[in-house]
Structure 1
Amino acid sequence: MQSQIPLTHFRLPDPAAKWPWPRTLHANYAEVKAEADAWLHGFNALSSKAQRAFDKCDFSLLGCLLYPHLDKERARTGCELMILFFIFDEFTDQEDGPGVRKYVDIVLDALRNPHVPRPAGEHVLGEITRTFWERAIKTATAASQRHFIQTFSEYAEAVIEEASDRANERVRGIDDYLALRRLTAGPYPGFLPCELRIDLPEAVYNHPALANMRRLVAESIVLTNDTYSYNIEQAAGHDGHNIVTVAMRELHLALPAALEWVGTYHANVLAEFVECRGELPSFGAAADAQVAEYVEGIAMAVRGLDAWCFESARYFGARGREIQRERVVGLLPKMVVVGGLATPMMAGPAVEGNSVVV
């Protein structure tokens, strides 16, 4: 129980402990990672320091945990998509709404014109996006391409709204926050690799049962990411856009109780997904086979993201596997900026080996 650990620590919930889909890594992880990493490094988009931190996160590992059952080419699409998401985040994370808008316009134009050379002098994000999409569409059905353009556009526009919230120090209520965060976390365009070879009728794809299952996985992705990123975000003072902070404020809870609330809410989300899966209607033999493949694909995102949060250095540094077992984390001290460098405040508990990678 939370009361059995020091006040300088907190316990992570484990709502996916009994998730029916086991952790699985793509058989071609090493090869796909080498190709995807070489693709990104070829752009020299980041400083050497930022690139080293980026590499420690291993976004190809994330892709190969999210999409372990795809063929090699589609797995590479998944890995490069994860890289694109986090590169976009890297450039937009410190911007206000108008600052994010300039990146959004570049990215969306590149997606809509993947065979057109990018303008000279344009930010490198345009060419990164264009080359990702030019390769991805070679193995994508027309329907999956439509869905990706639509959902990525919604994601990018929502990031502008998030940036405005950040600039205005706005903290939303729970329902309002989750509605926006299901977009800003990028889960819907993140489903692209799961449907690259699927061509369902729109009436099936948009059926309320499937739409609800997508929403549930999207919500799980939000809750997983927010729970595990909370420590470094609160240390940096960037936790206003995090479900833990939102719950603390709206429900008037201390951190341990807020984490318990998030864990219970998350467990109910996952239970509802399993229930919905068992109640899916039949759409006919041909469609049912594709629906089953699609559902299995998006379900793997729950386990894949949870595993990656501990297996990469993104949130817990070198202690990820230990924290995954023990579920206990030392609260990071608040950081202050001195001479352009982030420095721990004198007050506050010891870091105890936790590593802020980003």
Structure 2
Amino acid sequence: MTLSSKQFILPDLLSGCPIRGGVNPHYEEGAAESRAWINSFNVFTDRKRAFFVLGCNELLVSHVNVLFVFDEISDDQSAKDAFATGNIFLNAMQDPNWDDGSLFARMTKEFRTRFLRLSGTRATARFLKHWETYCACVITEAELRERGEILDVDAFIALRRENSAVRLCFGLIEYAFGTNLPEEVFEDIVFLDIYWAAVDLDIYSYDMEQSKGISGNNIVEVLMANRKMTLQEASDHIGEYCAELMERFMTAQNHLPSWGACVDSEVARFIQGLGCWIKGNLDWSFKTQRYFGTKYLEIKETLCVTLRPREEPEEFNIHSDLE
């Protein structure tokens, strides 16, 4: 296949993924309720709302649509405005008595109330810690975007691990399975090898992000800027790296220590949830329009992506739109 300068071939991880996936049997009902809940706050412009709906975010993580809201809003904001949004998000999540009267605060507080009904104490402490780090790193992302700065590879990976919100989504695995893992599990090097392998498997968002002008927060752009790779070379490199991560995720499970039967059972359920995330993320990428627009089914077959033209950014004012 002869490619133009605006085309590249995606790495094919889906066909070689050894993990079985599936969709929650309550997805349809839960997705409708989650979407209706988000829409009730009317926080999006019409274009943002259309993009949000077509992305079928509920299919990936129906309980955390609020994270996608913050992600979408902050993508169009300056560092100052992202800081203001992040503070609302963080304060409303951490303090049940804090309220600035904004819609975003009310949305977050409603989520917090539902989450705390079932989450264990240790799982909750980890989730709130990751929430704070997530907000800080989304603000850092906005600062970098404002300066037009692209990080080196190692610094990017460290930032992306936090501002992608994947660790928060992994916190919901404990919520969903009713686990409450002790901290010593998260300090074990073998467990962390499995955990970080799952976090770092993020490969298909480049076209969407470059079209929105936010590709500085994407590993493809980072590799092209730092290692002088072409677009296709960067895509190929990422595919090889992700295949290594997949292998690490699978093989490291054979070397986990034992923490006792009860904890071992919870660890097994949590890792099962990580596997569902990996496979589900790959499936979701080709079942919605979030990454590839209306051609997502065609791209699933050919793996050939033609870069979309740059979109005009939308103005978003935290004070006028969220209060």
Task: Identify the match of residue 23 of structure 1 among 1, 18, 21.
Answer: 21
2:321 matched residue in structure 1: none
Q: What secondary structure sits across from 1:203 in the alignment?
A: helix
4+ residue stretches of structure 1 with deviation over 3 A? 333-337
1:240 matched residue in structure 2: 216
Q: Which moved more, 1:288-297 or 1:14-23?
A: 14-23
1:61 matched residue in structure 2: 59
What is the correspondence of 1:1-358 to structure 2 with a 5 Å cutoff? 4-7=1-4, 8-63=6-61, 79-81=62-64, 83-114=65-96, 116=97, 118-120=99-101, 122=102, 124-196=103-175, 197-220=178-201, 223-224=202-203, 228-334=204-310
Show structure 1 runs of 5+ residues with no match.
64-78, 342-358
Following TM superposition, by how much is the alpha carbon of 1:216 offset from its aligned partner in structure 2, in angstroms?
1.4
The 8 Å contact of residues 92 and 103 in structure 1, kept in 2 or not, is answered as yes
Following TM superposition, by how much is the alpha carbon of 1:88 offset from its aligned partner in structure 2, in angstroms?
0.3
1:69 matched residue in structure 2: none
Residues in 1 aligned to 2:17 and 2:226: alpha-carbon distance in whole angstroms: 29
Q: CA RMSD in A?
A: 1.9
Following TM superposition, by how much is the alpha carbon of 1:332 offset from its aligned partner in structure 2, in angstroms?
2.3
Residues in 2 aligned to 1:244 and 1:52: alpha-carbon distance in whole angstroms: 26
The 8 Å contact of residues 15 and 264 in structure 1, kept in 2 or not, is answered as no
The 8 Å contact of residues 62 and 304 in structure 1, kept in 2 or not, is answered as yes
The 8 Å contact of residues 211 and 311 in structure 2, kept in 1 or not, is answered as yes
1:356 matched residue in structure 2: none
Amino acid across the alignment from 1:47: T
Amino acid across the alignment from 1:311: K
**TM-score scaled by length of structure 1:** 0.82
The 8 Å contact of residues 216 and 273 in structure 1, kept in 2 or not, is answered as yes
The 8 Å contact of residues 193 and 248 in structure 2, kept in 1 or not, is answered as no
Following TM superposition, by how much is the alpha carbon of 1:334 offset from its aligned partner in structure 2, in angstroms?
4.3
Following TM superposition, by how much is the alpha carbon of 1:201 offset from its aligned partner in structure 2, in angstroms?
2.2
Q: What secondary structure sits across from 1:311 in the alignment?
A: coil
1:349 matched residue in structure 2: none
Amino acid across the alignment from 2:7: H
Residues in 2 aligned to 1:117 and 1:97: alpha-carbon distance in whole angstroms: 23
Identity %, equivalent residues: 27
Following TM superposition, by how much is the alpha carbon of 1:94 offset from its aligned partner in structure 2, in angstroms?
2.1
Q: What secondary structure sits across from 2:8 in the alignment?
A: strand
Amino acid across the alignment from 2:188: H
The 8 Å contact of residues 21 and 303 in structure 1, kept in 2 or not, is answered as yes
Q: Which moved more, 1:145-154 or 1:274-283?
A: 274-283
**TM-score scaled by length of structure 2:** 0.91
How many equivalent pairs are there?
A: 312
Change (3 A) 1:310 1:38: same
The 8 Å contact of residues 75 and 214 in structure 2, kept in 1 or not, is answered as no
